[in-house]
Every structure is written in C-alpha cells, then in structure tokens.
Amino acid sequence: MSVIRSVVRGTGSYLPQKVVTNAELAQQVDTSDEWIVQRTGIRERHIAADGELTSDLGRAAAARALEDAGLEAGDIDLVILATSTPDQTFPATAATIQAELGIERGAAFDLQAVCSGFVFGLATVDAHLRAGAFKRALVIGAETFSRILDWEDRGTCVLFGDGAGAVVLEAVPEAKSEGRGVLTTHLRTDGRHRTKLFVDGGPSSTGTVGHLRMEGREVFRHAVGMITDVIEDAFAATGESAATIDWFVPHQANRRIIDASAQKLHIAPEKVVTTVDRHGNTSAASIPLALDVARKDGRIGKGDLVLLEAMGGGFTWGSALVRW
C-alpha cells in the first residue's frame, strides 16, 4: 500500500465586522487598556453581530479556504469543525456548514477540545486521510465565545474574541508530495485539571449553556511546561528543531505565554506569528486565523516548516509539524 501524506491546499479566515477595544471594555468592567495589554498583549477583539452564528463564521472561513485551494464544495468529503460554541447541542454545527457549502457526500462532525481543538482536528483529519478513508478535508476552527462569557467578570471577559479559520487538506501519495504535508502530531489530555477552565452549564447537568469560568493563574502556571513538552515530542519524532522550523504559529491566548514558550524552546522571535493583539483568544479558531494571516501577508510559503501548538480546557494540549 502506498504511503499517503495530508498536504495543505489552502487557507481561509473570517472575522466579524465589529471590533471592541480595551478602552470600550473599560467602560463596562473595572479594567484598563494598560492592564490588559501588559498582562495579555490583547488590544482589541472581534465580536459576532446579533444573529451571527458559529456556523456563519465557519462557513465564511471554509468558503475562502476552498477558493484559496482552487477547489469546489463537491471536492470535499470530510468536514471537521473544532468548536466549543456550536449553534445547537445537536446536530453538529459541521453538518450545518457542510449543507450550506453544498457538500453532499462524505462525513461532517464537530470536535471538542476547547482551545486545542484545531490541533486535535488537524490530527484527526490527518489520520483519516492517511488511512485512505477520505480524499479532501476541511478542518475548521470557529467560535463565538462572546456568547458564553460572563460580561461582568473582568478576569475572563477581556480575554476572548470571536472568529473562524479553515484549512483544506488533501491526501497525496508520498512520492508526489515533494516532502510536504503533516509530518507529526502529538495530542494530550489530563482531565484532572478539568475544573480550572470550564463552562458552568451543559445539557446533562444544568440544561443551560452556562458561562466560562477560569482560574487564570493556574492555567498560566501549567501552560508553558505543557506546550514545550509536546513540542519537544514533535522535534524528537522528526529530528527537526527550533533552528530548522521556519514559523511558529501558537495558540493565541496570551502574549506572555507565547513569548515564554518561544524563549524556552530557543525559537527566534522573528519566527513567531502573533495575532493575539488584534484577535484576542478565539479558542479553536486562533491557529487557523493566524495561519491565514501569515499566509496571505506572504510569510508562510510552500515548503516552509510550520510548528503549531495549543493548550486549553480539559486540560488538552497538542503540537503539529507541517511542511507547507
């Protein structure tokens, strides 16, 4: 049996029109632009309009990724949506996006790993493509975290934003891949930490959606170690290193976590793609959003070695190395 690689064909993203600055938030809760910038690096975030759903954001990002890939909806046979803010408890929001894009074959499902969702989704798509089960896949990260925030809790409401990003991957025989594709993925979960970042509602517990709750300092304390561990695993599996990667595209939660992780791994600052200042933390959408920004502004190009990582609720965390 020939070896298959999952090769990136295109990227797309979508941000809601409305931008909310730190100064605007400071009119609603006891905070300041200075505190938010100093502690997180965030300056502004996008917030979905009334009636604008996660499926709307995800569909727009996916349509742009398809256009970028030069493909039609009918070329796609697998849609995985990473989200913690689905339109409804069921059906999967991926099914809505699939239908609205006009995809009529294959499978579509949601995947829930909070901020690590895109890396978990990429790993899942990669496994399905390499197994020969599907040919071309969309992996989407889309979130409307504004809907699950407690807008009176200054410790969390200043951190998050809404948005979506998408990547199209294609199964390509290794001999024709030119060395491109997903090289390795490493996923971890440790549910003992599940109460440090969670939503206090759900269908089987309260029958409500609930609000995001976080012990920020505790999450911060674990983040850098978990992120760097799983990146070391990616380097060990491939023989690559901080010196050989071209771009580091981390989950965008906090500028201090990103900088500390890059520093610990000896990744040069000019290789780090950062969008947290303009997007805030968009959870599962943050990596595909940042990938699309860095692709469209000409930084990430064909053949580049791109390192991805994320960490979030669960705790979940993971890394991926992709030859673009």
**Distant-in-sequence, close-in-space partners of 152: CB < 8 Å, separation ≥ 6:** 29
List the interface residues with ligand UT7, window 28-47 (CB under 6 A). 31, 35, 39-40
List the interface residues with ligand UT7, window 90-149 (CB under 6 A). 115
Alpha-carbon gap, residue 290 to 296, rounded angstroms: 10
Between 6 and 116, CB nearer to ligand UT7: 116
Cα dihedral value 98, 109, 51, 311, nearest 10: -130
Given the rule CB under 6 A, which of 122-130, 140-148, 150-158, 203-211 is the region that contacts ligand UT7? 150-158
Minimum distance, C-beta of residue 39 to ligand UT7, in the bound complex (Å): 4
List the interface residues with ligand UT7, window 257-296 (CB under 6 A). 257, 281
- Taking CB under 6 A as the criterion, the residue among 53, 63, 149, 158 binding ligand UT7 is 158
Minimum distance, C-beta of residue 152 to ligand UT7, in the bound complex (Å): 11
Between 217 and 266, CB nearer to ligand UT7: 217
Residue type, 40: T
- Taking CB under 6 A as the criterion, the residue among 46, 59, 154, 255 binding ligand UT7 is 154
Answer whether the bond into residue 86 is a cis peptide, omega within 30°.
Answer: no
Minimum distance, C-beta of residue 220 to ligand UT7, in the bound complex (Å): 4
Minimum distance, C-beta of residue 221 to ligand UT7, in the bound complex (Å): 8
Q: What length does the chain have? A: 324
In 3D space, the residue among 293, 98, 312 whose CA is nearest the CA of residue 188 turns out to be 312
The answer to whether residue 216 forms part of the interface with ligand UT7 (CB under 6 A) is yes
Catalytic residue among 115, 128, 186, 193: 115
Q: How many residues bind ligand UT7 (CB under 6 A)?
A: 18
Q: Is 173 helix (H, G, I), strand (E, B) or coil?
A: strand
Long-range contact list for 241-245, CB < 8 A, 24+ apart? 242/266, 242/267, 242/268, 244/305, 245/271, 245/305, 245/306, 245/307, 245/321
Are residues 277 and 41 in contact, defined by beta-carbon separation less than 8 angstroms? yes
Minimum distance, C-beta of residue 151 to ligand UT7, in the bound complex (Å): 12
- Taking CB under 6 A as the criterion, the residue among 91, 106, 155, 210 binding ligand UT7 is 155
Between 90 and 151, CB nearer to ligand UT7: 151
Read off the tokens for 319.
């890394």
Q: Is 281 a catalytic residue?
A: yes
In 3D space, the residue among 270, 279, 238 whose CA is nearest the CA of residue 141 turns out to be 279
Q: Is 115 a catalytic residue?
A: yes
Are residues 259 and 277 in contact, defined by beta-carbon separation less than 8 angstroms? no
Q: Which residues are catalytic?
A: 115, 251, 281
Using CB under 6 A, list all residues that contact ligand UT7. Answer: 31, 35, 39-40, 115, 154-155, 158, 216-217, 219-220, 223, 253-254, 257, 281, 312
